[in-house]
Amino acid sequence: MTWLTRDWQRPLPTARLLRNDLVLGAVLALLAVASLAVFRSAAGVAAPEHGNESYLWFALAGALLGLRRRLPLAVLLLESVIFVVIGERFADLAVVFTIQMVLFAALYAAWAWSRTPKALYVTTAVVLVGMFGWLAWSFTRPGMLPGDGDAGFLLPRDTAAIIYTLAINVVYFFGAIAWGQAAWMSARRRALLEAQFERERGHQAVERRQAVQAERVRIARDLHDVVAHHVSSIGIQATGARRILDRDPARAADALATIEASSRQAVAQMHQLVGLLREGDEDATREPQPGLCEVLSLADPHGRPRVEVEVVGERTDVDATVSLNLFRIAQEAVTNARRHAQATRVLVTLRYLDDAVEVEIVDDGHGSPEDPPVRSDDGGFGLAGIRERVAMLGAHHEIGNRPNGGFRVRVRAPRAAG
């Protein structure tokens, strides 16, 4: 029977739960004693010859439930023994609702909290055999059955009484077992969902770190191309100057030789650094790096979504590093809008300001419920990569959902890299 499968070990209750259980046990002990006093008053049953002993048994039964989650099987056995003792020594008190519910709760807790399946099965079998055996033995006592008589009913009175009592006890005991097993399975499902959620969070964290690291490598490669170009030019110009300058030739030659050596050394070191960062990159071809002039190439008026590009202001000179990274940001934002936003229109605006340059990408899609790294078609990593570039430029940015729907990426950077 699959519903009885116990292939998971429920964690022990927390210290807070155990403290609460102890308080609950004390409260239940008081309630059990109070319920006994009320029952005696209502039924007109005087205190038996054993005096106040029955109150002690009821109090013990209620108090033991405070340990039901820490020692579920031991509590079940003890509660069963107490129930039989009360039934034997105080026959009229075995029908008290409180003591019956205490035994029901103990059996339920055993199936809800036991961490040892074999011991649970054995303990339950012992309790069921003992309880039903005791019940069967009780039928043999004089006066326990109504006696045969009143002919004309469906069944003899004794037979009907036995069947009725057994049916009630079957529902009672197996109902507690079924309810406890259902609680155990519910806890198992919650634990599995929480474990799966934690694994997903771990995977997302790893992917986020990988996305950031990969984008930093890409940024380093782009910076290498830009800076290497300028430094190589300096080296070439310094070499030429050293050859043609004749004013204070010794001093000029030494200075220009230093410039030449430094530029070549810088290029060599950058090649080594980027070579380490790009370990395993098979791309040996180096194309000219794009810039703000290539923003116009992002336009796609007949695509889905439709991409439009606007240029505002008079074009000015922009540092190559800033130009490259702003183009990459615009390219990444358009790619994200095309792949994930389900937009119909994307507007890319390039603004040349007095001392800054700004790119803004706005779409009319459904926005973003969260901010995960999203891998784009060209090897970028979505918002994570955009924020890495923004942080490197020290630029002002706005990235998020628009109040009236859609998504906006706006980055404003100084014309010269800081």
Q: How far apart are CA 192 and CA 42, in angstroms?
A: 49
Give the tens place of pLDDT for each residue, 257-283: 667 666 665 665 565 455 545 554 444
**HSE, side-chain direction, 13 A CA sphere, residue 258:** 5
Question: Dihedral (C-alpha) 276, 277, 282, 287: value to the nearest 10 degrees?
Answer: -110
Rg, Å, the chain Cα set: 41
Chain centre to alpha carbon of residue 360: 34
CA–CA distance from 322 to each of 294, 335, 401 (Å)?
13, 20, 25
- Whether 380 has a pLDDT exceeding 70, the answer reads no
Q: Can you count the helices (H) and strands (E) in the chain?
A: 9, 5
**pLDDT interval class at 372 (50, 70, 90):** very low
Instruction: Identify the bridge partners of residue 398 per DSSP, sorted by sequence position.
Output: 410
Q: How far apart are CA 409 and CA 321, in angstroms?
A: 19
Give the tens place of pLDDT for each residue, 98-122: 889 999 999 999 999 999 999 999 9
Give the tens place of pLDDT for each residue, 41-94: 876 666 665 568 889 999 999 999 999 999 999 999 999 999 999 888 887 777
Q: What's the length of the chain?
A: 418
Give the tens place of pLDDT for each residue, 213-261: 777 777 677 666 666 665 766 666 676 666 677 767 777 777 666 676 6
pLDDT at 209: 79
